[in-house]
Amino acid sequence: MPAMQKYLRLYNLPLEELIEMSSKITKENFNNEVEFCSIISAKTGKCKENCKYCSQSAHNKAKIEVHDLLPTEEVRKAAISARDNGATRFCIVTSGTKPEKRDFDKIIEMIKAVTQIDGLHTCCSLGILDEEQVKAIKEAGIERYNHNINTAKSYHDSICTTHSFEDRIRTIKLIQKYGIEACAGVIIGMGETREQRIEMALQLAELSPESVPVNFLNPIEGTPLEGTEDAISEEEILRTICIFRIILPGALLRYAGGRTTRLSKDYQKLGIKAGINALLAGNYLTTTGSYAAEDVKMLEKEGLCVSKA
Protein backbone atom coordinates (compact mmCIF):
# COMPACT_ATOMS: atom_id res chain seq x y z
CA MET A 1 0.00 0.00 0.00
CA PRO A 2 1.68 3.27 -1.13
CA ALA A 3 0.25 5.39 1.74
CA MET A 4 1.43 2.88 4.33
CA GLN A 5 4.97 2.85 2.94
CA LYS A 6 5.01 6.65 2.81
CA TYR A 7 4.10 7.02 6.49
CA LEU A 8 6.42 4.22 7.57
CA ARG A 9 9.28 6.14 5.94
CA LEU A 10 8.26 9.24 7.91
CA TYR A 11 8.16 7.21 11.14
CA ASN A 12 11.83 6.42 10.62
CA LEU A 13 13.01 9.99 10.08
CA PRO A 14 15.30 11.49 12.71
CA LEU A 15 12.99 12.48 15.58
CA GLU A 16 13.87 16.18 15.48
CA GLU A 17 13.13 16.36 11.76
CA LEU A 18 9.81 14.54 12.19
CA ILE A 19 8.73 16.88 15.02
CA GLU A 20 9.61 19.94 12.96
CA MET A 21 7.49 18.61 10.08
CA SER A 22 4.44 17.96 12.24
CA SER A 23 4.90 21.22 14.17
CA LYS A 24 4.85 23.18 10.91
CA ILE A 25 1.54 21.52 9.94
CA THR A 26 0.03 22.45 13.32
CA LYS A 27 1.08 26.10 12.98
CA GLU A 28 -0.37 26.24 9.47
CA ASN A 29 -3.78 25.04 10.67
CA PHE A 30 -4.13 26.44 14.21
CA ASN A 31 -3.25 29.44 16.34
CA ASN A 32 -1.38 29.21 19.64
CA GLU A 33 -4.44 28.27 21.71
CA VAL A 34 -4.93 24.90 23.38
CA GLU A 35 -8.42 23.60 24.17
CA PHE A 36 -9.07 22.31 27.70
CA CYS A 37 -11.82 19.82 28.44
CA SER A 38 -12.80 17.95 31.58
CA ILE A 39 -14.84 14.80 32.13
CA ILE A 40 -16.91 13.16 34.82
CA SER A 41 -17.60 9.45 35.15
CA ALA A 42 -21.32 9.77 35.79
CA LYS A 43 -21.67 5.99 35.94
CA THR A 44 -18.72 3.71 36.66
CA GLY A 45 -18.16 -0.03 36.20
CA LYS A 46 -20.31 -3.11 35.53
CA CYS A 47 -19.78 -2.86 31.76
CA LYS A 48 -20.71 -5.99 29.79
CA GLU A 49 -18.07 -5.39 27.13
CA ASN A 50 -14.79 -7.32 27.39
CA CYS A 51 -12.30 -4.62 26.31
CA LYS A 52 -8.92 -5.85 27.56
CA TYR A 53 -7.64 -2.40 28.56
CA CYS A 54 -10.65 -1.36 30.62
CA SER A 55 -10.91 -1.41 34.41
CA GLN A 56 -14.69 -0.95 34.15
CA SER A 57 -15.33 -4.23 32.32
CA ALA A 58 -17.22 -6.83 34.35
CA HIS A 59 -15.02 -9.42 32.60
CA ASN A 60 -11.89 -7.98 34.25
CA LYS A 61 -10.77 -7.96 37.87
CA ALA A 62 -9.61 -4.39 38.41
CA LYS A 63 -10.40 -2.91 41.81
CA ILE A 64 -12.30 0.28 41.15
CA GLU A 65 -15.04 2.20 42.89
CA VAL A 66 -18.25 1.17 41.11
CA HIS A 67 -21.27 3.46 41.25
CA ASP A 68 -24.59 3.89 39.50
CA LEU A 69 -25.66 7.13 37.86
CA LEU A 70 -24.71 10.22 39.86
CA PRO A 71 -27.30 12.81 40.88
CA THR A 72 -27.76 15.61 38.33
CA GLU A 73 -26.77 18.28 40.85
CA GLU A 74 -23.43 16.57 41.53
CA VAL A 75 -22.68 16.54 37.82
CA ARG A 76 -23.70 20.20 37.48
CA LYS A 77 -21.39 21.24 40.33
CA ALA A 78 -18.51 19.28 38.79
CA ALA A 79 -19.10 21.06 35.48
CA ILE A 80 -19.00 24.49 37.15
CA SER A 81 -15.76 23.53 38.91
CA ALA A 82 -14.26 22.37 35.61
CA ARG A 83 -15.17 25.70 33.98
CA ASP A 84 -13.71 27.66 36.88
CA ASN A 85 -10.45 25.71 36.43
CA GLY A 86 -10.15 26.67 32.76
CA ALA A 87 -12.10 23.98 30.90
CA THR A 88 -14.25 25.17 28.01
CA ARG A 89 -15.76 21.72 27.46
CA PHE A 90 -17.29 19.26 29.89
CA CYS A 91 -18.02 15.65 28.97
CA ILE A 92 -20.54 13.41 30.75
CA VAL A 93 -19.28 9.82 30.53
CA THR A 94 -21.15 6.64 31.45
CA SER A 95 -20.00 3.02 31.45
CA GLY A 96 -21.75 0.29 29.53
CA THR A 97 -22.56 -0.66 25.95
CA LYS A 98 -25.40 1.88 25.78
CA PRO A 99 -27.61 3.65 28.32
CA GLU A 100 -30.59 1.77 29.71
CA LYS A 101 -33.95 3.53 29.38
CA ARG A 102 -34.16 4.45 33.07
CA ASP A 103 -30.65 5.93 32.96
CA PHE A 104 -31.08 7.68 29.64
CA ASP A 105 -33.89 9.93 30.86
CA LYS A 106 -31.70 11.02 33.80
CA ILE A 107 -28.75 11.60 31.48
CA ILE A 108 -30.88 13.93 29.37
CA GLU A 109 -31.61 15.88 32.58
CA MET A 110 -27.86 16.10 33.26
CA ILE A 111 -27.16 17.33 29.75
CA LYS A 112 -29.80 20.05 30.00
CA ALA A 113 -28.43 21.17 33.37
CA VAL A 114 -24.86 21.45 32.08
CA THR A 115 -25.85 23.24 28.87
CA GLN A 116 -27.30 26.05 31.01
CA ILE A 117 -23.87 26.84 32.48
CA ASP A 118 -22.35 29.93 30.86
CA GLY A 119 -18.96 29.54 29.22
CA LEU A 120 -19.06 25.78 28.86
CA HIS A 121 -19.67 23.51 25.87
CA THR A 122 -21.38 20.20 26.63
CA CYS A 123 -20.19 16.82 25.38
CA CYS A 124 -21.01 13.24 26.32
CA SER A 125 -19.76 9.70 25.86
CA LEU A 126 -22.51 7.13 26.39
CA GLY A 127 -21.50 4.17 24.24
CA ILE A 128 -23.20 2.79 21.14
CA LEU A 129 -26.37 4.80 20.52
CA ASP A 130 -29.39 4.24 18.32
CA GLU A 131 -30.95 6.94 16.14
CA GLU A 132 -33.64 7.99 18.62
CA GLN A 133 -31.04 8.42 21.36
CA VAL A 134 -28.87 10.53 19.06
CA LYS A 135 -31.84 12.76 18.27
CA ALA A 136 -32.56 13.13 21.99
CA ILE A 137 -29.04 14.19 23.00
CA LYS A 138 -28.92 16.63 20.09
CA GLU A 139 -32.19 18.21 21.20
CA ALA A 140 -30.92 18.36 24.79
CA GLY A 141 -27.95 20.44 23.69
CA ILE A 142 -25.01 18.10 23.05
CA GLU A 143 -22.49 19.70 20.69
CA ARG A 144 -19.82 17.00 20.55
CA TYR A 145 -19.92 13.24 21.17
CA ASN A 146 -16.96 11.11 22.16
CA HIS A 147 -16.79 7.60 20.73
CA ASN A 148 -13.28 6.29 20.23
CA ILE A 149 -12.33 3.72 17.64
CA ASN A 150 -9.71 2.65 20.24
CA THR A 151 -7.51 0.70 17.85
CA ALA A 152 -7.12 -0.32 14.22
CA LYS A 153 -9.78 -2.41 12.53
CA SER A 154 -7.19 -5.13 11.93
CA TYR A 155 -6.40 -5.28 15.67
CA HIS A 156 -9.87 -4.73 17.14
CA ASP A 157 -10.70 -8.39 17.76
CA SER A 158 -7.46 -8.77 19.73
CA ILE A 159 -8.75 -6.15 22.17
CA CYS A 160 -12.53 -6.67 22.23
CA THR A 161 -14.90 -9.34 20.92
CA THR A 162 -18.26 -8.31 22.43
CA HIS A 163 -18.84 -5.59 19.83
CA SER A 164 -17.36 -4.96 16.40
CA PHE A 165 -15.24 -2.19 14.95
CA GLU A 166 -18.15 -1.48 12.59
CA ASP A 167 -20.45 -0.89 15.61
CA ARG A 168 -18.20 1.96 16.68
CA ILE A 169 -17.95 3.46 13.20
CA ARG A 170 -21.73 3.28 12.82
CA THR A 171 -22.27 5.35 15.97
CA ILE A 172 -19.74 7.99 14.89
CA LYS A 173 -21.42 8.37 11.50
CA LEU A 174 -24.85 8.51 13.14
CA ILE A 175 -23.98 11.40 15.45
CA GLN A 176 -22.42 13.24 12.50
CA LYS A 177 -25.63 12.70 10.50
CA TYR A 178 -27.48 14.77 13.11
CA GLY A 179 -24.95 17.58 13.20
CA ILE A 180 -23.11 16.58 16.36
CA GLU A 181 -19.34 16.98 16.20
CA ALA A 182 -17.32 13.77 16.49
CA CYS A 183 -14.63 13.26 19.10
CA ALA A 184 -13.04 9.96 18.08
CA GLY A 185 -9.68 8.80 19.28
CA VAL A 186 -7.41 5.88 20.04
CA ILE A 187 -5.42 4.07 22.71
CA ILE A 188 -1.84 3.38 21.72
CA GLY A 189 0.55 0.98 23.39
CA MET A 190 -1.76 -2.07 23.49
CA GLY A 191 0.59 -4.25 21.45
CA GLU A 192 -0.32 -2.88 18.04
CA THR A 193 2.30 -2.38 15.31
CA ARG A 194 3.41 0.86 13.69
CA GLU A 195 1.45 -0.16 10.63
CA GLN A 196 -1.68 -0.48 12.76
CA ARG A 197 -1.13 2.98 14.27
CA ILE A 198 -0.97 4.38 10.75
CA GLU A 199 -4.11 2.38 9.96
CA MET A 200 -5.88 4.02 12.94
CA ALA A 201 -4.97 7.51 11.74
CA LEU A 202 -6.08 6.78 8.17
CA GLN A 203 -9.38 5.33 9.41
CA LEU A 204 -9.96 8.46 11.51
CA ALA A 205 -9.13 10.66 8.52
CA GLU A 206 -12.02 9.02 6.66
CA LEU A 207 -14.36 10.09 9.49
CA SER A 208 -13.03 13.67 9.79
CA PRO A 209 -13.59 14.08 13.56
CA GLU A 210 -13.15 17.54 15.06
CA SER A 211 -11.30 16.10 18.05
CA VAL A 212 -8.96 13.10 18.32
CA PRO A 213 -8.11 12.05 21.90
CA VAL A 214 -4.81 10.21 22.00
CA ASN A 215 -4.72 7.86 24.99
CA PHE A 216 -1.65 5.93 26.09
CA LEU A 217 -2.36 2.58 27.68
CA ASN A 218 -2.21 2.68 31.45
CA PRO A 219 -1.92 -1.06 32.14
CA ILE A 220 -4.23 -1.35 35.14
CA GLU A 221 -3.86 -4.26 37.53
CA GLY A 222 -6.68 -6.74 37.07
CA THR A 223 -7.02 -6.18 33.33
CA PRO A 224 -5.62 -8.58 30.70
CA LEU A 225 -3.09 -5.90 29.65
CA GLU A 226 -1.56 -5.40 33.10
CA GLY A 227 2.21 -5.69 33.10
CA THR A 228 2.65 -4.22 29.61
CA GLU A 229 4.29 -0.94 30.69
CA ASP A 230 7.10 -1.47 28.18
CA ALA A 231 4.81 -2.03 25.18
CA ILE A 232 5.66 1.43 23.80
CA SER A 233 8.46 3.89 24.52
CA GLU A 234 8.25 7.64 25.00
CA GLU A 235 10.02 8.22 21.71
CA GLU A 236 7.62 5.91 19.88
CA ILE A 237 4.69 7.81 21.40
CA LEU A 238 6.15 11.07 20.05
CA ARG A 239 6.65 9.58 16.61
CA THR A 240 3.03 8.40 16.65
CA ILE A 241 1.78 11.88 17.60
CA CYS A 242 3.74 13.30 14.67
CA ILE A 243 2.24 10.79 12.22
CA PHE A 244 -1.27 11.51 13.51
CA ARG A 245 -0.74 15.23 13.02
CA ILE A 246 0.56 14.68 9.48
CA ILE A 247 -2.41 12.44 8.55
CA LEU A 248 -4.97 14.58 10.46
CA PRO A 249 -3.79 18.17 9.86
CA GLY A 250 -7.07 19.87 10.79
CA ALA A 251 -8.10 17.84 13.85
CA LEU A 252 -7.61 18.80 17.46
CA LEU A 253 -5.12 16.24 18.78
CA ARG A 254 -5.90 15.82 22.45
CA TYR A 255 -3.70 14.52 25.23
CA ALA A 256 -5.99 12.12 27.08
CA GLY A 257 -5.61 9.17 29.44
CA GLY A 258 -2.15 7.88 30.32
CA ARG A 259 -0.09 10.93 29.46
CA THR A 260 0.99 11.68 33.03
CA THR A 261 2.00 8.07 33.68
CA ARG A 262 3.54 7.24 30.30
CA LEU A 263 5.23 10.55 29.43
CA SER A 264 7.67 12.64 31.43
CA LYS A 265 7.16 16.42 31.56
CA ASP A 266 9.86 16.92 28.92
CA TYR A 267 8.23 14.45 26.55
CA GLN A 268 4.80 15.97 27.20
CA LYS A 269 6.23 19.32 26.07
CA LEU A 270 7.71 17.70 22.95
CA GLY A 271 4.31 16.18 22.21
CA ILE A 272 2.77 19.65 22.30
CA LYS A 273 5.44 20.90 19.94
CA ALA A 274 4.75 17.90 17.69
CA GLY A 275 1.07 18.68 17.31
CA ILE A 276 -0.96 18.21 20.49
CA ASN A 277 -3.29 21.21 20.78
CA ALA A 278 -5.97 20.06 23.22
CA LEU A 279 -5.82 18.60 26.71
CA LEU A 280 -8.01 16.47 28.91
CA ALA A 281 -7.42 18.24 32.23
CA GLY A 282 -8.20 17.02 35.72
CA ASN A 283 -8.83 13.39 36.62
CA TYR A 284 -9.86 10.76 34.10
CA LEU A 285 -12.37 7.92 34.41
CA THR A 286 -10.75 5.57 36.94
CA THR A 287 -7.18 6.90 37.00
CA THR A 288 -5.54 10.12 38.18
CA GLY A 289 -4.92 12.80 35.58
CA SER A 290 -3.23 16.18 35.64
CA TYR A 291 -4.03 19.29 37.62
CA ALA A 292 -5.23 22.06 35.32
CA ALA A 293 -3.01 24.71 36.96
CA GLU A 294 0.10 22.64 36.20
CA ASP A 295 -0.97 22.27 32.57
CA VAL A 296 -1.50 26.03 32.25
CA LYS A 297 2.05 26.67 33.51
CA MET A 298 3.44 24.11 31.07
CA LEU A 299 1.63 25.72 28.15
CA GLU A 300 2.70 29.23 29.09
CA LYS A 301 6.34 28.12 29.09
CA GLU A 302 5.80 26.88 25.54
CA GLY A 303 4.30 30.22 24.44
CA LEU A 304 0.76 28.83 24.29
CA CYS A 305 -2.46 29.76 26.06
CA VAL A 306 -5.72 28.07 27.01
CA SER A 307 -8.54 28.64 24.55
CA LYS A 308 -11.41 30.72 25.92
CA ALA A 309 -13.90 29.77 23.19
Please give the single-letter amino acid code of residue 290. Answer: S
Domain spans in the chain, listed from the N-terminal domain onward: 18-306
The model's pTM is 0.94
For residues 13-33, average pLDDT: 96
pLDDT one-digit tens code per residue, 146-166: 999 999 999 999 999 999 999
Q: What's the confidence (pLDDT) of residue 288?
A: 41
CA distance 254 to 101: 31
Per-residue pLDDT band at 55 (split at 50, 70, 90): confident
CA distances from 14 to 6, 243, 249 (A): 15, 13, 20
Q: What SS3 class is residue 199?
A: helix
Say how many CA atoms lie within 13 Å of 129 toward its Cβ: 25
Q: For helices 292-301 and 265-274, give the axis angle rounded to 10 degrees.
A: 60
Looking at every residue in the chain, the average pLDDT score rounds to 91
Asked whether residue 133 carries a pLDDT value surpassing 90, the answer given is yes
Identify the CATH number of the domain defined by range 18-306: 3.20.20.70
For residues 175-199, average pLDDT: 97
Cβ pair 49, 56 in contact under 8 A: no
pLDDT cut 70: percent of the chain above it: 96
For residues 185-194, average pLDDT: 96
pLDDT one-digit tens code per residue, 191-244: 999 999 999 999 999 999 999 999 999 888 899 898 887 789 999 999 999 999
Q: What's the confidence (pLDDT) of residue 289?
A: 46
Say how many CA atoms lie within 13 Å of 252 toward its Cβ: 24
Residues 6+ apart with CB under 8 A from 75: 40, 42, 92, 110, 113, 114
- In our burial notation (b when 16+ CB lie closer than 10 A, e otherwise), range 238-254 reads bbbbbbbbbbbeebbbb
